[in-house]
Amino acid sequence: MGGFRTPLGRARGLGAAKSGVGHFIGERVSSVALVPLVLWGIWSAVGLAGGGHDDAVAWLRSPLNATLAILLALTGFYHMQLGMRVIIEDYVARHTTRSALLILNLFFCCLAAVLTVLSLLKVAVGGGAY
Amino acid sequence: MADATPGARARPLSPHAQIWRWHVTMAASILNRATGAALYGGAILFMGWALALASGPVAYDDYVGVLGSIPGKVVLFGLTLSAFYHLFAGLRHLAWDSGKGFTPAVADRTAWAALIAAAVASVAVWVIAGLMGKL
């Protein structure tokens, strides 16, 4: 989430080495977590394919499935925010457009993460029938 | 955003894509970014699935119906390819980060390996799904 400071602000503060690798490390660590989570996600998607609402609800009410689905969502939306940030920084040169897109990307990923996790939790712990 | 200072003078640019001979590591790198962008869309489909599930059986059946249609399956197969390719290309990056696999010969081989592994794994998942009667 860092990186909004100006070069001068950074130079006056603690220096780039204090936070400059934050994006790099965040992208790598989330990618390590996503290797097993995505493989599990693909395997789960195959299992759920062709099933109805009841099957999916029963699947998500298993605590293990709910936990892994929420971790996949949180790690995935975090990782994609970092990745899309680099794409925007590489291709959008105009300062105002670039800042607007970076903020839009951040807000959208946060919105998507909360929406997905809340939806998953509602089914996983909500109880009752549909 | 460090190099986007308003009013800064234009800086010299490095040679651009059209002067380079096409090679597999270049394709592998471009595909890694392209599949990452595609998976942004895939994550939005995952969000839609969770929303539909939480909204009840009618919304869920509609949503799964669209995903299960022929265009839906084409998109899902593309996302399967993207997920596996981005995963294998990510493993290459993790190897590079640990200082391994930088020589041109090894980089070429791992680029081909990632491309082929992604295709094989994607077809395998869909064949298995078909054999399980899921398609």
Query: What are the structure tokens assigned to A40, written together?
Result: 């599990």
d(CA B51, CA A56) in angstroms, rounded, equals: 12
Of A31, A46, A116, the CB nearest to B47: A116
Residue whose pair of structure tokens reads 């992208």 in the numeric block? A27
- pTM score of the predicted model: 0.87
Q: Is the pLDDT of residue B34 over 80?
A: yes
| pLDDT of the residue at B9 | 78
- Please judge whether B135 and A50 are an interchain contact, meaning their C-beta atoms are less than 8 angstroms apart: yes
Of A41, A49, A122, the CB nearest to B129: A49
Is A82:A23 a contact under the CB 8 Å cutoff?
yes
CA distance B5 to chain A (A): 7
Q: Terminal CA-to-CA distance of chain A, rounded, Å?
A: 38
Chains A–B, number of C-beta pairs less than 8 Å apart: 111
- Please judge whether B129 and A46 are an interchain contact, meaning their C-beta atoms are less than 8 angstroms apart: yes
B120 chain-A contacts, CB cut-off 8 A: none
The interface predicted TM-score of the complex, written ipTM, equals 0.86
pLDDT in tens, B36-68: 999 999 999 999 999 999 999 999 999 999 999
- Please judge whether B83 and A42 are an interchain contact, meaning their C-beta atoms are less than 8 angstroms apart: yes
d(CA A23, CA A44) in angstroms, rounded, equals: 30
pLDDT tier at A1, thresholds 50, 70, 90:
very low
Spacing of C-alpha A76 from chain mean position: 4
pLDDT in tens, B69-104: 999 999 999 999 999 999 999 999 999 999 999 999
Of B39, B91, B134, the CB nearest to A50: B134
Total residue count of chain A as it appears in this document: 130
d(CA A91, CA A75) in angstroms, rounded, equals: 25
R_g over Cα of chain A: 19
Is B60:A56 a contact under the CB 8 Å cutoff?
yes
| pLDDT of the residue at A122 | 96
